[in-house]
Amino acid sequence: MPLRNELESFFGALRFFTRLPVPAWVGHSNEALVRSTRYFPVVGLVIGSIAAAVFILVSIFWPKTLAVLASMAISLSLTGAFHEDGWSDMVDGFGGGTDKSQILAIMKDSQIGSFGTLALVVILLSKFFLLVEIDLLLIPLALVAGHAFSRLCATLVLRSLDYVREEGKSKHLTTALSDRGLAFATVTALLPLGLLSAQQALWAVVFALLVTLWLARLFKQRLGGYTGDCLGATQQLSEVAFYGGLLCNFF
């Protein structure tokens, strides 16, 4: 049943990337996980929408800064800091490793190092201060669009590079994403941008894509491809870049 297969793919992505409950009838298979790749931006829409709703609710009673903090806290809770963990592991590996094998070994270590700790603090502070600087009425849309588009950026890395570990949680995501699947993911991620001004959407997308291209090149040079931590790092840094683009006033 095509509809059931699509629902299984969507809920598979939701289960893999979040802590949100999924229906009991949804099974688990590597095939469904592979098909779920095109739903990564949809997961971003879900997380971003919940974060936006929390922001709106909290901002009714408390200042903007507390509302931003609450929106960040709920997104961290919903994902279990899945992508933030990838970001810190990636920075640890690339900061402390001198060759591919050493980088991969450091990234696999469950203990966070000094590079990763500092990177985690920087990325969280960057998100907070960027969001606080965005106009109050624009923040909910920024959260939805930023979460969706940053996951498209991670999908682009997955599509363009090879997976470099023999095993890993992301191993079954490495089957090439079809053109149709990539088109679906792209359209999904671009939908919220229609509610932004042309200037805001342009610079947000440009900044996020530039960061993605830079990271993809770095991954290719240092590892010959990507790992799951690299995808998490891409999502995090492109999300920050997206918010930065929204604040640009180049013209």
The parent domain of residue 150 ranges over 41-246
- Tokens 């950026």, residue located: 153
Encoding tokens for residue 192? 């919220």
Give how far the C-alpha of residue 12 lies from the chain's centroid of Cα atoms, to the nearest Å.
16
Encoding tokens for residue 125? 């502070």
Rounded CA-CA distance 71/58 in Å is 9
Given a contact cutoff of 8 angstroms between Cβ atoms, the answer to whether 39 and 15 are in contact is no
Residue 177 in domain: yes
- If one counts every other C-beta atom within 10 angstroms of the C-beta of residue 247, the result is 17
Residue 12 in domain: no
Q: Does residue 198 register a pLDDT over 70?
A: yes
Average pLDDT over residues 12-26: 84
- What is the pLDDT at residue 174? 53
Residue 150 in domain: yes
Residue 157 in domain: yes
Encoding tokens for residue 164? 């470099």
Rounded CA-CA distance 43/12 in Å is 10
pLDDT > 90 fraction of the chain, expressed in percent and rounded: 72
- What is the pLDDT at residue 89? 96
Residue 33 in domain: no
Residue 34 in domain: no
Residue 4 in domain: no
How many domains does the structure of the chain reveal? Answer: 1
pTM (2 decimals)? 0.93
pLDDT band at 124 (very low <50, low <70, confident <90, very high): very high
- What is the pLDDT at residue 118? 96
pLDDT band at 223 (very low <50, low <70, confident <90, very high): very high
Q: Which of 5-14, 54-63, 165-174 has the lowest mean pLDDT?
A: 165-174
DSSP H or E stretch at residue 203: helix 198-222
Q: Is 132 exposed, middle or buried (0-12, 13-18, 19+ CB in 10 A)?
A: middle
Q: Which of 6-15, 77-86, 146-155 has the lowest mean pLDDT?
A: 6-15
Check residues 215 and 249 and name the one with the higher pLDDT.
215
pLDDT band at 1 (very low <50, low <70, confident <90, very high): very low
Q: Which of 156, 157, 140, 249 is nearest to 204 (CA)?
A: 249
Count of CA atoms in the C-beta half-sphere (13 A) of 83: 29
Strand partners, 163: 226
Compute, in degrees rounded to 10, the torsion defined by CA atoms 43, 173, 184, 1: -90
Rounded CA-CA distance 26/17 in Å is 15
Q: 46: Cβ–Cβ under 8 A, 6 or more apart, which residues?
A: 14, 18, 20
